[in-house]
């Protein structure tokens, strides 16, 4: 399993109730919601993740455990043939 790194694009695996950044209005982040890791917390047990709209405006920033996140990948992994 790949370790989550700073600036990784991630998706949440579960629905999470949160508060809208700056206004504190309650919102629901749904399973599959995409965000960016902006800080590692503890020893990689949790991460601060920023969620932004298509224009790049942040609407939520919150700490999420590693178990609730999945790293999104854009490129396939090369498989090395056994010799």
pLDDT tens digits along 41-63? 999 999 999 999 999 999 999 99
Q: What integer pLDDT is reported at residue 83 of this predicted model?
A: 61
Q: Is the pLDDT score of 25 beyond 70?
A: yes
Q: What are phi and psi of 67, to 5 degrees?
A: -65, -20
Q: What is the rounded average pLDDT of the residues 68-72?
A: 96
Cα distances from 66 to residues 31, 69, 78, 81, in angstroms, run: 14, 5, 25, 31
CA–CA gap between residue 51 and residue 33 (Å, rounded): 8
Q: Does domain 9-71 have CATH number 2.30.30?
A: yes
For a pLDDT cut of 70, what percent of the chain falls above it?
95
Question: Structure pTM?
Answer: 0.87
Q: What integer pLDDT is reported at residue 75 of this predicted model?
A: 86
């Amino acid at each position: 399993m790949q370790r989550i790194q700073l600036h990784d694009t991630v998706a949440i695996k579960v629905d999470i109730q949160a508060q809208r950044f700056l206004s504190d209005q309650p919102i629901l982040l749904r399973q599959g919601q995409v965000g960016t890791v902006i800080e590692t917390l503890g020893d990689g047990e949790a991460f601060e993740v920023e969620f932004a709209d298509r224009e790049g405006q942040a609407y939520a920033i919150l700490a999420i455990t590693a178990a609730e996140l999945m790293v999104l990948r854009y490129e396939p992994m090369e498989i090395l043939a056994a010799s």
